[in-house]
Amino acid sequence: MSSVPESSEVLDGVPAEEECCGGESHCAGELPDSNRLAGMPPREGCPPPLQWQQVLAAFRDECTAWHTATSAGPIVGRVWGQGPTLVMFNGLSGSHELFALCVYLLKANCRCVLLDYPTGRRATWPHLTDSVSKVVQEFAGSEGCHLFGTSFGAALALETALRLGSQVRSLTLHGAFAHLPLTVFERASASVLRWMPGQMQSMPLWRGLQERGHRLWFPPIDPSRWLFYLDNAGRTPVAELAGRFGMLSRFDARSRLDQLATPTLLLQVEGEGETQARCRDELAALLPNVRTEFLHSTGLWAFLTHPHRLAKLIREFVCPTPAVPS
């Protein structure tokens, strides 16, 4: 694979751990005084917020683009960073650029591989899982790789890990499940919407639902990051999102998970619903090598709302610090 250019000095001037999302109550105005900062846990430090516009521009300019033809259709993506390979799977909507802030914070420690799912009628669940597994296997090489997945991407990451076995060194999963049974109404809706033209942002009530479900968790001092999310996710074709949602009924890993020895980190986030919590608990009970980490105040899109906190968890899990001999 192609090497990745060095990042700009301007963006590299602040250590990753000190970047701030701006989402905490103490981020809403002036920075706290030194006494208050001294009493905060390490993950709550608050220098100026991460400037997502600059990071996204650097991401687009400095990462390496790639593409491959598969049975599900063309898969395109980008690579940024150096170190152990970390493949990141999107959710139901939005492009790989939603991970740009988190990848920026990880690029010094991980070779981050991002991808966008193929579109069109060939992108069925069997074709998609076959294609994604082959792409991951190519990037993993002889040294293996690590996987991160959110919602739909978590199902793909789990399926890929089950297929590739020891080539997958670790799994970090958010919004994950072993099986997500869809109601008759949900299956019917997905079938109908698969034929609907247009993008999600053109759907009645879509923006209002996003506001009610996710706006609370975004940085209050940087409303433009919320607009970035709306624009990116809103450009997802209705038919593609509906198709991916319908595929979820095809995924059922419950009977196979006892074979998965891969170290797995399940992320519990503040703002998740009862169904998500129930599915995560079921998955945790089925996995033989798993631990759960709680991310408070992040909402469902932690890679956008609090990327520094998520990146630190991933970094600690994927690149643990070697023990110092006594």
Q: How far apart are CA 190 and CA 245, in angstroms?
A: 7
With 0-12 CB in 10 A as exposed, 13-18 as middle and 19+ as buried, what is 244? buried
Q: Give the domains, in start order, of the chain with CATH numbers.
A: 11-318 (3.40.50.1820)
Among 38-42, 118-122, 236-240, whose mean pLDDT is lowest? 38-42
Residue 166: per-residue pLDDT: 93
Check residue 15 and give left, alpha or beta (phi > 0: left; psi -120 to 50: alpha). beta
Contacts of 229 (CB under 8 A, 6+ apart): 94, 98, 210, 214, 218, 301, 304
The closest of 8, 101, 74, 53 to 224, measured between CA atoms, is 53
Which stretch of 3-17, 243-257, 300-314 has the lowest confidence by average pLDDT?
Answer: 3-17
What are the pLDDT digits (tens) for 47-101? 345 688 999 999 999 999 999 999 999 999 999 999 999 999 999 999 999 999 9
pLDDT, position 49: 55
pTM of the model: 0.84
The first and second tokens of residue 258, run together, are: 């006892």
The pLDDT tens digits of the residues spanning 28-60 come to: 333 233 333 233 344 444 434 568 899 999 999
- Residue 244 CA to residue 201 CA, distance in Å, equals 17
Mean pLDDT of the chain: 84
Q: Do residues 260 and 286 lie in contact, with contact meaning Cβ atoms separated by under 8 Å?
A: no
Q: What is the mean pLDDT of residues 196-210?
A: 91
Residues 174, 182: Cα–Cα separation, whole Å: 19
